[in-house]
Structure 1
Amino acid sequence: MSTPPPSPGAERADGSSFRIGALVPLTRPGWAEAGQHLLAGLELAVREVNDAGGIGGRPLELVVRDTAADPEKAAAAVDELARLGVAALAGEYHSVVARAAAARADALGLPFLCSSAVLDALTEQPTRWVARLAPPQSRGWRIYADFLLGAGHTRIAVATQPSLYWASGVRILRDHLAPRGGTVTELDAGALTPAALCDELAAGRARALLLLVGHPDPAVPIVRSVRHDPRLADVLIGAPAGQPEFAGWAASLGDDGAAIPFLRYLPERLTPLGVRVGTALRERLAEAPSFVAFEGYDTVTVLADVLRAHGTDRARVAEAWPRVAVEGTRGQIRFSRTPGISVWQWARTPVQVVDRDPAEPGRFRVLHTG
């Protein structure tokens, strides 16, 4: 890791505001719906910080850049935001994109609080510059594997596409299930049509199919094909990456999109702050807020607390990660060093396995907590 030059202040030249850079996927091929929820949370928190007097009496400003799920575009945005003098970076949803942003932030000495990405290896080497709110993939996906085992599923098929994130997920599932008598069979969603994938599934012995693929394509066509294939009536469809969390999933699939368990990072009960923020987010989004929107809000809440207590010098912001103790929407946020994780990590992020209720697809059922 290179030693960064002294950082410019986050205070604008006219002395009017302090700036945080926000990385958000807002256009395709990024998952724009998730990006909109993330941005809604970020923006709501900034507004509330400013309504409460800002940072030392000066407003907080969010400088937003669309990553479009492109790692190169994200890295270029980090360079630009660093030149603009932001005190820190926030956001990003896609793990592979966040990894590129984290590597660049580490090289530049720019603090980055990652909101949503879960890939364990967010940086190649341990770094003091990056912290994360979302749980590492190894923790969340092991909890999901425990849910599968508890439901009696030991023979698992996964529909996959080429991606570091999906490959990491397959490895976590296989490593966790194998010692407990479970097996994982990969089906190439790029080489197989949905109908051919159903044929492969019917010919095998797996009674659960996990979607490790993009949304809407090929996830939506695969779900439709499996749901309407009488040979697969008793096959569980799962989506550990959380695709069914968003309204677009329900709009695309209707009743077919229910009873598909996924990971969600919410507690059994939101904090009083979370209840209030949830109401405000619902008004802002005109729909129920996802856990991603709460992640966005908590990101700015943490950064604002750090900036108030430690100033806007980048090195001092990064040095503050282990001293954070902030009440967020989902519990108290503290960062620590977690074995095998290279960034400062919120170790107590709540994790649930949830699905949409077949009797009422707009309602979620909590199936398992970890």
Structure 2
Amino acid sequence: MSTPPAAERTDGSSVRIGALVPLTRPGWVEAGHHLLAGLELAASEVNDTGGIAGRPLELVIRDTAADPRLAVAAVDELAGLGVTAVAGEYHSVVARAAATRADAIGLPFLCSSAVLDALTDQPTEWVARLAPAQSHGWRIYADFLLGAGHRRIAVATQPSAYWASGSRILRDRLVPQGGTVIELDTGTLAPAAVCDELAGNRATALLLLAGHPEPAVSLVRSVRHDRRLTEIMIGAPAGQPEFAEWAAALDDDGAAIPFLRYLPEFLSPLGTRVEKALRERLAGAPSFVAFEGYDTVSVLADVLRSHGTDRARIAESWPHVSVEGTRGRIEFSRAPGIGVRQWAWAPVQVVDRDPAAPDRFRIRYTG
């Protein structure tokens, strides 16, 4: 890994980490705020405990707005500003663009939340990831569907590498077990037409492989109020119902829609303490994305304290990381088929909002 190392400074100046987050539309702004809350909380705690060898840790935040081009430009800008590493990002296609660029210029990137398996085209030592790969989590979701008796499954899709990958993972898992996956293109089918297709195909489950708020919200409303579809289960493996704006937009219609989230059944003492602090920052319940942000900075702070701020040494340190995170001990390895250093794995749950109390989550399946 030949790259000009970041200068080691002993003059008390800050140690800088670039933070990529979606903070404006069309990015998922609520997810971005949760991710940023976790990043900032952990950075604040690092500085409260002496910083990095006496130097303050500074986050240099850049809004990606779910735009891969903005992410690439931000990586270049942050590298020029002398950051030791880049962290964050929620949207998978954006994270892939950032990871590819970071790999090309020799800048360590710790991806917090994006799950697309192929973050880079080739194996790299420059990139590591906390979130479980999509193939891991979505296979667990497929197992949940099979266990619940669903064999005829429709997926409402939009054009995207992320959604296409999700459809493929589900099909590869379900079809050998006797399942059928029916793809419905939301670009050509209005919500009412999707309902017609569901009724005609006798599907027992509809999975929302489509963006939030639209067309996902309109699809849910249409299905919930179609008398032909009262028995159909709606699912959202990508996690749209995790956030408060989902419940606000759909009220009772947004409950009982199982989705993936990456939390253990019971938080550790560290997780419980962080949950309380995040709740205060967000003025509400933190999502798993906020915990991912906190764990990201915790890992980077440990690496910086142990290995210094040289970029090459940071990238070389991924296999040696062993950090107690909010959701378990974090260590990176080479997972089959994954080109980046991967935490294998964060805990995976299938949960939904309780119809009797939509602010409460029910665990439906654990992977």
Q: How far apart are residue 271 of structure 1 and its match?
A: 1.4
Q: Distance in 2 between matches of 1:314 and 1:225?
A: 51
Cα separation, partners in 2 of 1:196 and 1:275, compared to 1, 3 Å: same
Structure 1 length-normalised TM: 0.98
Q: How far apart are residue 95 of structure 1 and its match?
A: 0.3
Which amino acid is 1:124 matched to?
D
Question: Do 1:10 and 1:19's aligned partners in 2 also have CA atoms closer than 8 Å?
Answer: no
Question: Do 2:88 and 2:296's aligned partners in 1 also have CA atoms closer than 8 Å?
Answer: yes
Aligned length: 367
The C-alpha deviation readout for 1:179-198, integer Å capped at 9, x for no partner, is 10011000011111111111
Cα separation, partners in 2 of 1:81 and 1:236, compared to 1, 3 Å: same
Q: Distance in 2 between matches of 1:230 and 1:116?
A: 37
Which amino acid is 1:228 matched to?
H
Which amino acid is 1:258 matched to?
A
Aligned to 1:119: 116
Question: Do 2:3 and 2:312's aligned partners in 1 also have CA atoms closer than 8 Å?
Answer: no
Aligned to 1:76: 73
Question: Do 1:21 and 1:89's aligned partners in 2 also have CA atoms closer than 8 Å?
Answer: yes
Q: How far apart are residue 269 of structure 1 and its match?
A: 1.0
Cα separation, partners in 2 of 1:11 and 1:19, compared to 1, 3 Å: farther
Aligned mate of 1:248, from 242, 245, 250: 245
Question: Do 1:127 and 1:343's aligned partners in 2 also have CA atoms closer than 8 Å?
Answer: yes
Aligned to 1:270: 267
SS at match of 1:157: strand
Aligned mate of 1:259, from 247, 256, 260: 256
Gaps of 5+ in 1: none
Q: Distance in 1 between matches of 2:110 and 2:132?
A: 13
Q: How does 1:1-370 map to 2 (within 5 A)?
A: 4-9=2-7, 11=9, 15-370=12-367
Which amino acid is 1:151 matched to?
A
Q: CA-atom RMSD, angstroms?
A: 1.0
Identity across matched positions, percent: 78
Q: How far apart are residue 5 of structure 1 and its match?
A: 3.0
Q: Distance in 1 between matches of 2:116 and 2:250?
A: 28
Q: Distance in 1 between matches of 2:215 and 2:283?
A: 27
Q: Distance in 2 between matches of 1:165 and 1:66?
A: 20
Question: Do 1:35 and 1:93's aligned partners in 2 also have CA atoms closer than 8 Å?
Answer: yes
Question: Do 1:7 and 1:85's aligned partners in 2 also have CA atoms closer than 8 Å?
Answer: no
Structure 2 length-normalised TM: 0.99
SS at match of 1:153: coil
Q: Distance in 2 between matches of 1:332 and 1:88?
A: 21
Q: Distance in 2 between matches of 1:125 and 1:137?
A: 17
Gaps of 5+ in 2: none
The C-alpha deviation readout for 1:319-364, integer Å capped at 9, x for no partner, is 1000000000000000000110000000021000000000000000
Q: Which structure 1 residue ranges, 4+ long, deviate > 6 Å from structure 2?
A: none
SS at match of 2:358: strand
The C-alpha deviation readout for 1:207-245, integer Å capped at 9, x for no partner, is 100000000000000000000001000000000000000
Q: Distance in 2 between matches of 1:309 and 1:157?
A: 49
SS at match of 2:280: helix
Q: How far apart are residue 16 of structure 1 and its match?
A: 1.9
Q: Distance in 1 between matches of 2:199 and 2:5?
A: 59
Q: How far apart are residue 10 of structure 1 and its match?
A: 6.8
